[in-house]
Structure 1
């Protein structure tokens, strides 16, 4: 994201110049580990709910608070790494991740879980911009063409590994609510050391002022933004559902009392998304957005079938298909928005796009949680997935219409 608020450029500290392979590796590791920490609690919610005596509605509120932390960090800290440098923000995000782990290790009442999730959300929101930029900027010359894909793999891959690791440890190791966070803290130690010694890729200006990230969408970008944002909203709502509610569904509806299964199911969605974003990075944007939305609709049908049939294999298939659709529609939607945005307003448009996505993780999921107390988890889940599928269909229709309109204009222009 472009730097703002600078009053003057000064000479760069020549002792800290990018890039070395060690700095690049440190940034990638930090990105993966911090994002991994944000999803560690996912398969543990069933244990917390049993021990602390709360239901699905409270679980979704705890989960949604994480998204609120992400949104706050995107808005407040989104531009700071452009002003003070990547390294201070990477350190701050990793320290917030460590603080979240400490809170979870010592967690007792529900409010403490909420504090831990807020800290985790703040760390993720900081890393969404600062770590992505650092990975790309610190990449050695031979890796620069693949750096955006590596940043994606570190981000979404870390999110996917979190529930997988936590689920397996909760199932097969002692102290399920403590061991995984202790391990997370131990891993964060070399991460912090690595960040401390990375080369600073930003030319820090003297007298630069920190500012809040403005959210807006220029008039000329709104058409592209609306259809891309609807697809992002649908895809992130699916991710929120799997992360916040599916573990409870596995336990309470399927009757499978396995934290490992719950973690694997969520991990499948995230890892499918990550692999799709990497594999599809060179595909045409508009066509890939159409395909991604279509696959997301199919994924909703499969997930609904799994919910109605109370079938774990069908839910796993739905996670794979939905992850592919989410990964393709989100990444290509972002690419379309970035390409359509004026260069001097790209940061605010991109931030707005991410805020829409994270609102989708929070508000609808809380509604699903409270609806489940009235209609039951399965019925509420089916209704919610139908709504998500409709959103994906709307994004698909808008994109197809836009592509056809552009082709007609091109033909008439010739």
Structure 2
């Protein structure tokens, strides 16, 4: 459980700037496209770390890698606290991505390995819930502090920096779970490792993860602008709450996998993602806040169902010595979803407007998730996973 809290603290920092982008746009005078690029820099950094060092914690141990991740999280907070121009935002997002990249595979594997005998399923839920719960707490914390407390561009990062320091102290008191460690010099960049037993479920599972994270990427990067410009809702706490709702709904979806089963959770998650995309299309065309919230709830639940199902399936099919590397491969696909489509929305916002860009995004994601659901219905995940 303590490992999950550390994971959540780190992930909260990655979404902390979400409700503040409007302030930064006015302060530093940049466009909506720049917002999406600033946001996506984080995801590109995550992908780079996962590709270059996705299995580093398998070699040197979980604790050292997690401590390095927390160090980058602290450095990111310092960048935002020092921000006097756009360059600081890029640096802060880059460092945040390095932090998340190091922690994603290592912390997920660490939480699972710290579980008592027979507790692997619950530990998987704790790991994925810590990931999504942390992502949800970031915009909620920043929105509330920015709306109701002084220094809106500084206080959220100062508070998070304090949490990161406490998380580091917790990690120092936890046990290491990697028995046979190797020198850092033995770690080499490599392609994402997919053992033969994982490949059957990886394709459709990764596609669902891609769409779910893409939906979250759009919510996190451009929904505050949509709420402010189209719905005239400028309360930062409300903006943070709407974004957080999607992540918290994801946790509810993840918690349902134990009752539904991994095999059924993937196609059901795809169906819920499709429904969430449809609701988002309705929100964009009708400009109704209730539809935005409904999209966050339904789409978030679908992301949780599909993502925990995907993670459980690939983790169970992976050899222990390659588990972090396989998990990292899944996250490479997921974080590609949270970056490339988001920048696409930013590019299209200029000629099409935010509504038109959003509808193009929804159409593309609907095609992908429908294809994944169709594959899973033809070739279900084995019931034993």
TM-score class, shorter: over 0.9
Match for residue 106 of structure 1? 82
1:151 paired with 2:133, answer: no
User: Which segment drifts farther, 243-252 or 282-291?
Assistant: 282-291
Match for residue 105 of structure 2? 129
Give secondary structure in 2 for the equivalent of 1:392: helix
Match for residue 296 of structure 1? 273
1:28 paired with 2:13, answer: no
Distance in 2 between residues matched to 1:75 and 1:206, nearest whole Å: 19
TM-score, structure 2 normalization: 0.92
CA contact 1:152–1:278 (8 Å) conserved in 2: no
Distance in 1 between residues matched to 2:118 and 2:264, nearest whole Å: 29
Match for residue 179 of structure 2? 203
Count of residues in Structure 1 that have an aligned counterpart in Structure 2: 382
Match for residue 165 of structure 1? 141
Measure how far apart 1:126 and its partner are: 1.1
CA contact 1:69–1:118 (8 Å) conserved in 2: yes
Measure how far apart 1:29 and its partner are: 2.3
Per-residue CA deviations over 1:347-392 (Å, capped at 9, x if unaligned) read 5443322211111111111010010011111111122112212211
CA contact 1:64–1:361 (8 Å) conserved in 2: yes
CA contact 1:90–1:131 (8 Å) conserved in 2: yes
Q: Could you tell me which of 287, 295, 309 is aligned with 1:310? A: 287
Distance in 2 between residues matched to 1:207 and 1:65, nearest whole Å: 30
Q: Mapping of 1:15-414 within 5 angstroms?
A: 25=2, 27-140=3-116, 146-205=122-181, 209-217=186-194, 222-339=199-316, 347-403=324-380
Distance in 2 between residues matched to 1:250 and 1:316, nearest whole Å: 11
- Aligned Cα RMSD in Å? 2.3
1:337–1:144: structure 2 CA closer, same or farther, 3 Å change rule? closer
CA contact 2:55–2:325 (8 Å) conserved in 1: no
Q: Mapping of 1:1-12 within 5 angstroms?
A: none
TM-score, structure 1 normalization: 0.86
Match for residue 5 of structure 1? none
1:350–1:91: structure 2 CA closer, same or farther, 3 Å change rule? closer
Measure how far apart 1:205 and its partner are: 3.5
1:252–1:290: structure 2 CA closer, same or farther, 3 Å change rule? same
Measure how far apart 1:97 and its partner are: 0.3
CA contact 2:60–2:183 (8 Å) conserved in 1: no
Distance in 1 between residues matched to 2:197 and 2:8, nearest whole Å: 35
Measure how far apart 1:152 and its partner are: 1.8
User: Which segment drifts farther, 283-292 or 395-404?
Assistant: 395-404
Give secondary structure in 1 for the equivalent of 2:260: coil
Which has the larger Rg?
1
Distance in 2 between residues matched to 1:343 and 1:98, nearest whole Å: 31
